[in-house]
Amino acid sequence: MGRRTGFKPFALKQGDGIALIAPASTFPAGAVEALRRTLEREGYRPLPGVHIASAHRYLSGRDHQRAEDLLRAFRDPSVKAVFCLRGGYGSSRILSRIPFSRLGTEPKLFLGYSDITFLHASLWAGSGWITFHGPNGLDLVEDDQALRDVIEALSGAASFSRPIDPEMVVRPGRATGILLGGNLTCLTHLLGTPFCPDVSDCLLFLEDRAEASYRIDRMLNHLRLAGLWEHLSGLLLGRFADCCPADELRSIVLESVQGYGFPVVAGLPFGHGKPNPVLPLGLPFSLNTHDGTLEPLETPFRDSDA
């Protein structure tokens, strides 16, 4: 039985400190300064990590540097949100350096996707933090709509409900559960580690990019063989950008889940591509393909009076 409740962060407010962290791949020169100016323009206090300008091969610094920046952001009371600059590769290398079980019960607003899935999953499994799957920091530079969407979502001004159109229904049904997931490749690599969350009775969300059909098939088969389908409440598929055609993906998924009764939907607008709406992870949701709804059952934010 997995974790049933999570710790909620406060909603974002004007003047809040936002840590800019690079836990994975390197990024273009000038990107941090561009994001800093963007956030300052919107009335926030960007706080770049101490090692943000470091680099080690294809990584944004050595493992201890990237872990130190992340831990410093988690522990700094002036930091209210943590924006990961980009994905790529590298987050998994720092997991063993983060004492997830000792991070406390007052989460930061943690935002990112793709390789950042390693951190989302670990923050839930080890800390019980509700986090936010959505654009990486670099996606917000020179994309005013993405920036507005993120600010609205993290400030509590946006709805996290999504319509489920009939053509999105792969297998109909109703389900409720904690929403978890992210990048399929990253989640597959977490299996068998202490950082992999228990998805029993959960709604599992998956997305990916540039994976051949047989690789998606192999990863889904790995999840099935590992027992993830046994007690799952529902399966939600986001974008599989530059992968196989949608009909082929549906066929692969249906073969994988054959023999299990949970509902499956595909084509949700989350993951690699635009727009990439913010999705709370660790929050209970309700899925009803008959009514065409995917709705949170509570707010992802902590009461400001708590």
pLDDT tens profile 167-209: 999 999 999 999 999 999 999 999 999 999 999 999 999 999 9
Cut 0.75: pTM above it: yes
Examine the residue annotation and report whether 207 is marked as an active-site residue of this protein: yes
Tokens of 289: 């393909």
Domain boundaries, the chain: 17-154, 162-296
Beta bridge partners of 182: 206
Task: Please tell me which residue in 91, 92, 114, 127 is annotated as part of the active site.
Answer: 114
Edge-to-edge strands, sheet with 17-21: 45-48, 17-21, 79-84, 109-112, 131-133, 279-281
Q: What is the pLDDT of residue 304?
A: 76
* Mean pLDDT of the 58-66 span: 98
Contacts of 207 (CB under 8 A, 6+ apart): 113, 182, 183, 184, 237, 238, 239, 240, 270, 271, 272
- Residues 164 and 294: beta-carbon distance below 8 Å: yes
The second-level CATH assignment, the architecture, of 17-154 is 3-Layer(aba) Sandwich (3.40)
Distance of CA 288 to the CA centre of its chain: 22
Q: How far apart are CA 36 and CA 42, in angstroms?
A: 10
The domain 162-296 belongs to what CATH superfamily?
LD-carboxypeptidase A C-terminal domain-like (3.50.30.60)
> Does pLDDT of 222 surpass 90?
yes
Buried-state track 206-221, b at ≥16 Cβ within 10 A, e below 16: bbbbebeeebbbebbe
Candidate list 51, 120, 133, 272, residue with the active-site label = 272
Residue 290 among the catalytic residues? no
Q: How far apart are CA 107 and CA 248, in angstroms?
A: 39
Selected catalytic residue, list 207, 211, 233, 286: 207
Output the pLDDT for position 87.
97
Q: 15-34 pLDDT, tens per residue?
A: 999 999 999 999 998 999 99
| Residue 56 known to be catalytic | no
Mean pLDDT of 242-254: 96
